[in-house]
């Protein structure tokens, strides 16, 4: 909701073409990046980018960094709901550490956005969000909105 409010051109694009919902959902997950990081312990010595990580070292992967990597994603700081390859992001992890609920999360968001677009001509954000007090979860406690009835 906040991303569309901050990017009215993308909100207009979505309302004019609801077939973009799946792409918008993936772009929102990439752009918002619900979890900030994940920490692991290195199992073996390895060199990455000229730096040595020793077995047992604690390593943090910052999802937002991966999701805003200019070498991988064109215009990564922009919210673009019809982005090419919108599911190309790190928000659900990767490999054996990939979130097993990722498809369910995407489906839930797809369905809720289908219903929002069917029911409401516009949802207006009326104030700034209140963020969750967490260094791990990047979320909102409150986002004040006005939801008008369908015209």
Report CA 69 to chain centroid distance, whole Å. Answer: 14
DSSP state of 37: E
Q: In this predicted structure, which of 68-77, 89-98, 123-132 has the lowest mean pLDDT?
A: 89-98
Side-chain half-sphere exposure of 77, counting CA atoms within 13 A: 0
pLDDT at residue number 150: 65
pLDDT tens track for 81-94: 999 988 888 777 67
In angstroms, rounded to a whole number, what is the distance separating the alpha carbons of residues 82 and 85?
9
Yes or no: is domain 2-146 CATH 1.10.3470.10?
no
What separation, in Å, do the N-terminal and C-terminal C-alpha atoms of the chain show?
20
pLDDT at residue number 34: 84
């Amino acid at each position: 909701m906040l991303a569309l409010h901050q990017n009215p051109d993308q909100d207009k694009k979505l309302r004019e073409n609801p077939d973009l919902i799946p792409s918008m959902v993936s772009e929102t997950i990439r752009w918002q990046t619900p979890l900030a990081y994940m920490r692991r312990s290195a199992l073996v010595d390895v060199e990455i980018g000229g730096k040595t990580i020793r077995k047992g070292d604690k390593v943090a992967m910052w999802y937002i960094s991966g999701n805003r990597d200019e070498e991988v994603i064109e215009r990564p700081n922009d919210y673009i709901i019809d982005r090419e390859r919108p599911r190309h992001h790190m928000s659900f992890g990767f490999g054996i550490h990939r979130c097993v609920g990722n498809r369910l999360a995407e489906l839930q968001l797809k369905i809720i956005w289908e219903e929002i677009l069917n029911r409401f001509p516009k949802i207006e954000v009326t104030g700034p969000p209140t963020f969750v007090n967490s260094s791990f979860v990047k979320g909102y406690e409150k986002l004040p909105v006005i939801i008008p009835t369908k015209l």
